[in-house]
Amino acid sequence: MVVTKTLTRRQRIMKAIITKKYGPPEVATIQEIEKPIPKENEVLVKVLATPVTSGDARIRGLNVPFGFKFITKLMFGFKGPKNPVLGVVFSGIVEESGGKVTAFSKGDAVFGSKEGFGCHAEYLVIKENGAIVHKPEKVSHEEASSIPFGALTSLKYLRDFGKIKKGQKILINGASGALGVYGVQLAKYFGAEVTGVCSTSNVELVKSLGADHVIDYKKEDFTENPETYNIIYDTVGKLEFSKCKASLNKNGTILLAAAGLKEYSQVMSTSISGSKKVVAGVAIFKKEDLKVVSELVELDHIKPVIGRRFKFSEIVEAYTYVDGGHKVASAVLKL
């Protein structure tokens, strides 16, 4: 009797990375918590790989663009993350599906993004109609998990915010980061002429992703050469609109993935006057877009890029790497 009880409890327990207060990487610790139970419209996924994204690091460290601390606390929790299990993307196997689920069954290989975090754990539950699709067979779970954060954000920025068109010239600043590596591949898919900006050690990677030109920012400042672009996509958060305005064509757009209050005021002012626009926003990850990305993976238009792999137990090392600001593509935790 006692044995059965212990066994049942064991089966309901899982390991998760818990962040109860904002702070340095060390605030994230591995603990045992209750395994979630899927509702009738949800699936329970056994997580096999989950990256530590710049988004997780921002929330864990409350390291947000200027002017956004209060609103971030309002949304995510005042003393610490409301959901202590961070992690926005995953790849894994469906372990159980709720009674009303029709699209997924036990054993299916899936990947996606969970709204409101919860992926840095051995198991997660996600709504059937959330951002979850079957994993393309040609990529591993680690590779699949590396895709949604960067690809879904860059898809939103390039296709919807930037309205990228065939033949346009685009410069991607931070071309070797998670957003950058998929930004380069998506911009090529959309038929643009792509210039990637990165540091010396990442030049070959960015070229291998299809960039037509690569600028090593350690050797050259693109704002000082006469080349102009239809779109400048900044994934780094270090470009000043005033400094790179001259590098935009007439009617050109600068897309800012990491905008603060000052940049959002430029979004407002340039939407009213001036031919060159500043555009920024939040990319919401949707199932339809994940399907698009998944299909592009199947068709070899997008290949996954993993910069570093960590064991689940190496979460502090992984966060320290991500906090450094020079992450190459994705930092994936293996479970």
Ligand X SMILES: NC(=O)c1ccc[n+]([C@@H]2O[C@H](COP(=O)([O-])OP(=O)(O)OC[C@H]3O[C@@H](n4cnc5c(N)ncnc54)[C@H](OP(=O)(O)O)[C@@H]3O)[C@@H](O)[C@H]2O)c1
* CB neighbourhood size of 264 (10 A): 17
Structure tokens at 279: 């555009």
What angle do the packed helices 54-61 and 315-323 form, to 10 degrees?
A: 90
- H or E stretch at 57: helix 54-61
Output 140 or 199, the one with its CB closest to ligand X.
Answer: 199
Q: How many residues bind ligand X (CB under 6 A)?
A: 29
Question: Applying CB under 6 A, which of residues 235, 247, 270, 294 lies at the interface with ligand X?
Answer: 235
- Least separation in angstroms between residue 18's CB and ligand X is 22
Structure tokens at 88: 């926005």
Structure tokens at 115: 């709204």
266 binds ligand X (CB under 6 A): no
68 binds ligand X (CB under 6 A): no
CA distances to 142, 319, 333 from 136, in Å: 12, 28, 19
Dump the DSSP string for 148-188: HHHHHHHHIIIIIIS---TT-EEEEETTTBHHHHHHHHHHH
Residues 126-155 that bind ligand X (CB under 6 A): 150, 153
Question: Applying CB under 6 A, which of residues 28, 209, 232, 258 lies at the interface with ligand X?
Answer: 258
- Least separation in angstroms between residue 27's CB and ligand X is 18
Backbone angles phi, psi at 18, to 5 degrees: -105, 130
Output 72 or 140, the one with its CB closest to ligand X.
Answer: 72
- Least separation in angstroms between residue 243's CB and ligand X is 12
Residues 162-181 that bind ligand X (CB under 6 A): 173-174, 176-180
217 binds ligand X (CB under 6 A): yes
Structure tokens at 105: 């069954």
Question: Applying CB under 6 A, which of residues 72, 140, 199, 228 lies at the interface with ligand X?
Answer: 199
Stretch that binds ligand X, among 8-16, 160-168, 271-279, 321-329 (CB under 6 A): 321-329
Question: Applying CB under 6 A, which of residues 23, 116, 274, 325 lies at the interface with ligand X?
Answer: 325
Backbone angles phi, psi at 207, to 5 degrees: -65, -40
The one-letter code for the residue type at 283 is A
> What is the C-alpha separation between 283 and 28, in angstroms, rounded?
25
The one-letter code for the residue type at 12 is R
Residues 109-128 that bind ligand X (CB under 6 A): none
Output 265 or 275, the one with its CB closest to ligand X.
Answer: 265
- Least separation in angstroms between residue 332's CB and ligand X is 12
Binding map of ligand X across residues 270-309, x = CB under 6 A, - = no contact:
------------xx--------------------------
Q: Which residue's CB atom is positioned nearest to ligand X?
A: 177
Stretch that binds ligand X, among 49-57, 77-85, 101-109, 312-320 (CB under 6 A): 49-57
Residues 178-197 that bind ligand X (CB under 6 A): 178-180, 197
Structure tokens at 243: 């400094």
> What is the C-alpha separation between 298 and 87, in angstroms, rounded?
25
- Coil/strand/helix, residue 145: helix
Of 154, 161, 150, 142, nearest in space to 188 by CA: 154
Query: Nearest-5° angle of CA 75, CA 76, CA 82?
Result: 135
Output 121 or 331, the one with its CB closest to ligand X.
Answer: 331
Question: Applying CB under 6 A, which of residues 62, 237, 286, 301 lies at the interface with ligand X?
Answer: 237
Contact 36, 58 (CB under 8 A): no
Sites of contact with ligand X (CB under 6 A): 53-55, 58, 150, 153, 173-174, 176-180, 197-199, 202, 217, 235-238, 257-258, 282-283, 325-327
